A and B are shown apart, each in its own frame.
Chain A
Amino acid sequence: MTVEDIVRILDGTPLTCKDNLGIEVRTACGSDMMSDVLAFAKTQCVLLTGLCNPQVIRTAEMMDIVCIIFVRGKQPDESMLELAEENGIPLISTPHRMFSACGLLYENGLRGGKMDA
């Protein structure tokens, strides 16, 4: 699945890196807790979150997260957009709620990473 597919599936609006939506996404992670994302997210993963602050972008940067989806129509502010653009991370806003957004992606074949033993 590519970021472009995600935009289509989630009725999303791309907010940054609009020329870079062909990137491949392997797994997904849905969380408002960046502590958990830092501890559990896998590589080439997309992050779905309802949290909207600059540390979400920082977390994605450190974890090499491919793309961030803000659920419930959340809109990142100017500083977040700048930080994401600087780091080449596409931000997408979707009107869907967290559960529905995760469900739609799952239905279309995207899976979470394997659980750690």
Chain B
Amino acid sequence: MPDVMELVYEVSNEDFTRAGEASSDVKRKLKKLGIPSDVIRRVSIALYEGEINMVIHAYGGKVTVTISEEAITMVLADKGPGIPDIDKAMEAGYSTAPDNVRNLGFGAGMGLPNMKKNSDEMNIETQIGVGTTVTMTVKL
């Protein structure tokens, strides 16, 4: 295994049915690297939630995953509307997702709390009208 491996994905918002392709690929690669299964599960869940968020709220974006010997770091950067109130967004059950998203089984207001729960560190940088960058780290 090289010291550090970087994976980059464009997340498109055009087709909701394709959301999760990045997470799926990351999961496969982590398996091949022999990363412990509980770590893979946490990374997969956190990243998939993030990817879904990007498709729902932010017209897609870019996902960068860095795998080192110490940790897996996920950076999800979008040029979406930004999050007006992060504390509110972090509350379990608080959601601004439209009805059509709920009909697809998402938008229960569990995404961000679940991302935090599954990562060791999570940081959100957001600016209204400019975009949001979520950085999550899962330690190895």
Binding site for B on A (CB under 8 A): 32-36, 38-39, 43, 51, 53-56, 58-59, 61-64, 79
In B24-65, which residues have CB < 8 Å from any A CB? 24, 27, 37, 41, 44-45, 48-49, 52
What separation, in Å, do the CA atoms of A35 and B52 have in the docked complex?
A: 10
State the majority secondary structure of interface residues on A: helix
Contact residue among B16, B37, B45 (Cβ-Cβ distance under 8 Å from A38)? B45
Contact residue among A33, A58, A61 (Cβ-Cβ distance under 8 Å from B108)? A33
Contact B48 A33 (CB under 8 A): no
Task: State whether the Cβ of B131 lies closer than 8 Å to any Cβ in chain A.
Answer: no
What separation, in Å, do the CA atoms of A63 and B106 have in the docked complex?
A: 15
Looking at the complex, which of B3-11, B81-89, B109-117 is the stretch in contact with chain A?
A: B109-117
Contact A51 B44 (CB under 8 A): no
Contact B48 A62 (CB under 8 A): yes
Contact residue among A35, A43, A61 (Cβ-Cβ distance under 8 Å from B111)? A35
State the majority secondary structure of interface residues on B: helix
Residues from chain A with Cβ under 8 Å of B17 in the complex = 53-55, 79
Task: State whether the Cβ of B19 lies closer than 8 Å to any Cβ in chain A.
Answer: yes
Task: State whether the Cβ of B23 lies closer than 8 Å to any Cβ in chain A.
Answer: yes
Contact B24 A58 (CB under 8 A): yes
Task: State whether the Cβ of B1 lies closer than 8 Å to any Cβ in chain A.
Answer: no
Chain B, Cβ-Cβ closest to A31: B105
Contact residue among B27, B106, B111 (Cβ-Cβ distance under 8 Å from A55)? B106
What separation, in Å, do the CA atoms of A34 and B52 have in the docked complex?
A: 11
What separation, in Å, do the CA atoms of A55 and B107 have in the docked complex?
A: 13
Contact residue among A34, A39, A61 (Cβ-Cβ distance under 8 Å from B105)? A34
Contact B109 A62 (CB under 8 A): no
Chain A, Cβ-Cβ closest to B21: A58
